[in-house]
Amino acid sequence: MVDVDSGVATTVPLGRLVLEFEEIDRSRIAGVGGKGAHLGELSRIAGVHVPAGFCVTTEAFGRVLAGLPSLEDRLERLSDLDPDDRDAIGAISAEIRDAIGGFPLPDDLATVITRSLARVGESAAYAVRSSATAEDLPTASFAGQQDTYLNVVGPEAVLDHVRSCWASLFTERAVTYRLRHGVDHRTARMAVVVQQMVTPDASGVLFTADPVTSNRKVTSVEAVLGLGEALVSGLVNADSYTVRDGAVVDRTVAVKDRAVRAAPGGGTREQPVEEEQQRRPALTDAQAVRLAALGRRIEAHFGCPQDIEWCLVDGEFRIVQSRPITTLFPAPVADDGDGHVYLSVGHQQMMTDAMTPLGLSVWQMTTPRPMSEAGGRLFVDVTPILASPGRDGFLDAVGRSDPLTRDALQTVIDRGDVVPAPSGAEADVPPAGGAPTPLDADPALVEELISAGRASLAALARDIRAHQGPDLLDFIVEDFKELRRLLFDPRSHRVFTTAMDAAWWLGEHMRAWLGEEDATDALTQSVPHNVTSEMGLALLDVADVIRPHPEVVAFLRGVEDDDLDGLPAVPGGREAHDALRAYLDSYGMRCVGEIDIGRPRWSERPAALVPLILGHVENFGPGAGPRRFARGRQVAREKQQELLERLRTLPDGERKADETTAMIDRLRTFIGYREYPKFSMVSRYALYKAALWGEAERLVRDGVLRDRQDILFLRFDELHDVVRTRQVDDQLIREREEAFVGYQALTPPRVLTSDGEALAGAYRRDGIPTDALVGLAVSRGTVEGRARVVLDMSEADLEPGDILVTAFTDPSWSPVFVTIEALVTEVGAMMTHGAVVAREYGLPAVVGVEGATRLIRDRQRIRVDGTNGYVEILA
């Protein structure tokens, strides 16, 4: 035969075309696929009973492909398709299925399969099940993507269904799933499991962790009468059992009026269930507890939570499949055995994507607070705070910022999960006495802080060039002290707290005195010293330079792979190049997910800005940036004047007006500086990264690393050792790279417990339309428009009037805000980036809308109510 990967002729021993279960373990996944490997492993676990069977290996499938050389071109075309191109996927996959389904099975292969059937029992009925190599993996289950055939009777029928399983590797759903998960069709292989059928009294699934809450201490069982197909197909509702600590703690018994059972002669059929049996539990509590214990044994063998298929036959359980539960978010590791509650750092930093190991370690070097890692994200253990007498103040502060997080924490407290702090222990609670004394509205302090930060950054840029090798890593470690000094400067903290206290004061007093809601929305427009808002407006200035030059616009439309080298040669290109270079000199350290030092900066990939620049060229006229800033300042001035005039008509109005004036001055003087410390931090990160990138290139030249990207999968201290020793654990890098891909597919929770339970929280308020998507109101106003669901800023194709719907925004999204009419995000709070910039630009905004990017379709018409905090999907 021919090896389809290498094109080299090889001879495969016939004995390898079929493997019995007892010959298989997890190391054989390349030959028997995920399902087959797990069945082989299950058959080795003491006390776990698996119906007998065997696997037709991927070598046999390779024989089929080798006999169909015409498939190579179709596979190539299939790999190039967009996963949303359903017509093309359907046409090409149908051609491939027809070719495989019509391929005559070689005689020697048919003989080997028939011989294995005779060993198990030729007259028995079988389940013939697809087992792809990209299936039942820790990072993606691919469950249900290929076909399974039940109660297949007779050797000829088994052989036909083996061929059907091979063809099912190219069903439309399987092809689309692989495209979305980045799996190359040319590398996917199909084995086939042939397993003796049993006639069960009941069947179902067992999850060794709660599939909804992710709690690892809870086992969830679903059961139906007869075969499990009734459950999989949704034919009947299942009985459900929740088992914890060896007891059933919750049970729901469904009415089961139908069951699926094996039909005489092959296949399955629906049968009515006798009326007196319809409300009978499919399992007793004792059986559910025994099944849960069996699940724990299987979980311990595989080392991770499992999704297990089972059958009950004559009072004994038979296990017919087990696969990893790929949707669970990993739990932080706690060595003390106590219960812990963790708060997501990413939800506070507007970066809920997975971070690289280098990014995680650099962030932890940046902040002095201890953190735990899980799923490529960082979490803070807040158990001591929740167990302390001062927790009410902490919860109030959290609630003002993010009601969902506060509600999730309150849930943990209300059910008594928090372990009281030991006697005499001191919790990490903010000191008594409240915030520091507010500052007077002195712009000189802000200017002094910014000037000091710029001087420090210039010194770093100058000095870091003199270092390389281990000395460079030592230099960066030392510079972290300066970074932390600037970030945690007490004067900066007083500026923040003064601005935030002024915002809260104005909100409460304007509501109480004037019935005015969210007056700060208008008052914070076009404030000074907001580097993030300035960055968004500055890109409009770049567009002003480019707009008069159609050749430059045409060049930018054709840019691919960040190649802007030819820009200066285009008429008008030199001016455009200089304007873009000046912008990158000021803001090129920014990027989406910028708290991860491993993310590519705009200075590395300037083409990420091209769609935004072209949008500005088309949608705005010259001078739009200064005009927008002036208009915002005028709105704030008029709002202040209106408030003060209304206050002066009240009893004791002059005093109220004077106090309000002082608070508005504090707010406008200091709120813009809130964005600067993070800007300063990512500016340092960019310098660190450029230096580390140079070091990585030297390691590649010396043959230590395969690729400079490998440093992203080393922690900072590990990279230090590699630079010093010139040796690296390449296997560790590959494992972390694979784990990172899996982490990227996970959604982190706001609150996570050490049991693995993920808590999202809920909004508790009335007056919201029934079908509305509820969130947090952070910027007033109501807008209707076209939703643009954008997950990657570099692909944002926005027009004026569009409503941006995305997972989160960090400062790198600011250039988008000048185009949109409103903002909807899945993550956010009152004082996070998107909320602050939306208020400054006067855009209605609702943040913290769970599942917004999934529930709202791109280009759908929606209404955003930024006053009351909800989104309506319109007809």
Cα angle vertex 757, ends 755, 758, to 5°?
A: 145
Query: 20: part of which helix (H) or strand (E)?
Result: strand 18-20
Region 823-846: mean pLDDT is 88
Provide the H-helix boundaries in 121-271: 155-167, 172-180, 229-232
DSSP bridge partners of 251: 241
pLDDT band at 422 (very low <50, low <70, confident <90, very high): low
Q: Where are the beta strands (DSSP E) in 377-464?
A: 377-381
Provide the 3-class DSSP secondary structure of residue 636: helix
* Tokens coding 749: 């929770």
The per-residue pLDDT for 473 is: 98
Candidate from 180-184, 565-569, 605-609 with smallest mean pLDDT: 180-184
The per-residue pLDDT for 434 is: 46
The per-residue pLDDT for 285 is: 96
The per-residue pLDDT for 590 is: 95
Residue whose tokens read 């820009």 = 567
The per-residue pLDDT for 397 is: 87
The per-residue pLDDT for 207 is: 96
Q: How many CB atoms lie within 10 A of CB 299?
A: 22
**Alpha carbon distance 148, 232 (integer Å):** 12
Provide the 3-class DSSP secondary structure of residue 378: strand
What radius of gyration, in Å, describes the C-alpha atoms of the chain? 31
pLDDT band at 9 (very low <50, low <70, confident <90, very high): very low
pLDDT band at 437 (very low <50, low <70, confident <90, very high): confident
For residue range 227-248, what is the model confidence (pLDDT) as tens digits?
988 887 778 889 999 999 999 9
Give the 3-state secondary structure percentages of the chain, helix then strand then coil, rounded to 5: 50, 15, 35
pLDDT band at 136 (very low <50, low <70, confident <90, very high): very low
Residue whose C-alpha is closest to residue 333's, from 377, 300, 373, 382: 373
pLDDT band at 146 (very low <50, low <70, confident <90, very high): low
Cβ-proximal residues to 208 (8 Å cutoff; 6+ apart), any chain: 216, 219, 292, 295, 296, 298, 299, 305, 306, 308, 325
**Alpha carbon distance 611, 801 (integer Å):** 17
pLDDT band at 361 (very low <50, low <70, confident <90, very high): very high
Region 804-828: mean pLDDT is 92
Residue whose C-alpha is closest to residue 162's, from 39, 299, 281, 17: 17
Res 415 pLDDT > 50: yes
For residue range 438-492, what is the model confidence (pLDDT) as tens digits?
888 889 999 999 999 999 999 999 999 999 999 999 999 999 999 999 999 999 9
The per-residue pLDDT for 1 is: 33
The per-residue pLDDT for 775 is: 94
The per-residue pLDDT for 6 is: 34
- 704 close to 725: Cβ distance less than 8 angstroms: no
* Tokens coding 593: 């997910």
**Alpha carbon distance 421, 436 (integer Å):** 28
Res 421 pLDDT > 60: no
Res 623 pLDDT > 90: yes
Residue whose C-alpha is closest to residue 460's, from 438, 471, 476, 445: 476
The per-residue pLDDT for 745 is: 87
Provide the 3-class DSSP secondary structure of residue 805: strand
Provide the 3-class DSSP secondary structure of residue 797: coil
The per-residue pLDDT for 171 is: 87
Percent of the chain's residues with pLDDT above 70:
95
Candidate from 11-15, 630-634, 773-777 with smallest mean pLDDT: 11-15
* Tokens coding 487: 């970030």
Q: How many CA atoms lie within 13 A of 735 on its CB side?
A: 4
For residue range 564-584, what is the model confidence (pLDDT) as tens digits?
889 999 999 999 999 999 999
What's the chain's average pLDDT? Answer: 89
What is the 8-class DSSP label of residue 113?
Answer: H
For residue range 18-74, what is the model confidence (pLDDT) as tens digits?
999 999 998 898 899 989 999 999 999 999 999 999 999 999 988 888 888 778 888
Cα angle vertex 817, ends 814, 818, to 5°?
A: 110
Residue whose C-alpha is closest to residue 689's, from 609, 802, 605, 625: 605
Q: What's the CA dihedral at 658, 663, 665, 666 to 10 degrees? A: 150
Region 375-399: mean pLDDT is 92
For residue range 726-769, what is the model confidence (pLDDT) as tens digits?
999 999 999 999 999 989 989 899 999 999 999 989 998 888 99
- What is the tally of helices (H) and strands (E) in the chain? 29, 26
Q: If phi over 0 gives left and psi between -120 and 50 gives alpha, with beta otherwise, what is residue 309?
A: beta
- 25 close to 182: Cβ distance less than 8 angstroms: no
Length of the chain: 875
Cβ-proximal residues to 520 (8 Å cutoff; 6+ apart), any chain: 503, 506, 507, 667, 839
For residue range 95-116, what is the model confidence (pLDDT) as tens digits?
888 888 888 888 888 999 999 9
**Alpha carbon distance 89, 185 (integer Å):** 12
Res 279 pLDDT > 60: yes
Provide the H-helix boundaries in 518-596: 520-523, 531-546, 550-557, 573-587
Q: How many CB atoms lie within 10 A of CB 843?
A: 25
The active-site residue, picked from 529, 577, 616, 833, is: 833
Q: How many CA atoms lie within 13 A of 579 on its CB side?
A: 20
Res 845 pLDDT > 70: yes
* Tokens coding 84: 């949303």
For residue range 757-768, what is the model confidence (pLDDT) as tens digits?
999 899 988 889
Region 342-349: mean pLDDT is 92
- 272 close to 257: Cβ distance less than 8 angstroms: yes
Q: How far is CA 84 from CA 142, 172, 265, 554, in A?
A: 18, 11, 41, 28
DSSP bridge partners of 784: 863
Provide the H-helix boundaries in 2-51: 29-42
**Looking at per-residue confidence, does 795 or 300 come out higher?**
300
- 232 close to 253: Cβ distance less than 8 angstroms: no
- 141 close to 195: Cβ distance less than 8 angstroms: no
Beta-strand pair 822-825/803-806:
parallel
Query: 319: part of which helix (H) or strand (E)?
Result: strand 316-324
The per-residue pLDDT for 841 is: 86
**Alpha carbon distance 487, 457 (integer Å):** 13
Cβ-proximal residues to 335 (8 Å cutoff; 6+ apart), any chain: none
b/e per residue, 178-209, with b = 16+ CB within 10 A?
bbeeebebeebbbbbbbbbbbebebbbbbbbb
Res 3 pLDDT > 60: no
pLDDT band at 140 (very low <50, low <70, confident <90, very high): very low
User: Is 301 among the residues known to form the active site?
Assistant: no
Res 147 pLDDT > 80: no
- 220 close to 206: Cβ distance less than 8 angstroms: yes
Provide the H-helix boundaries in 547-623: 550-557, 573-587, 610-619
The per-residue pLDDT for 87 is: 87
Res 213 pLDDT > 80: yes
Region 779-788: mean pLDDT is 94
Percent of the chain's residues with pLDDT above 90:
65
**Alpha carbon distance 175, 239 (integer Å):** 33
Between the ranges 6-10, 322-326, 534-538, where is the mean pLDDT highest?
534-538
Q: How many CB atoms lie within 10 A of CB 468?
A: 15
Q: How many CB atoms lie within 10 A of CB 602?
A: 22
**Looking at per-residue confidence, does 562 or 630 come out higher?**
630
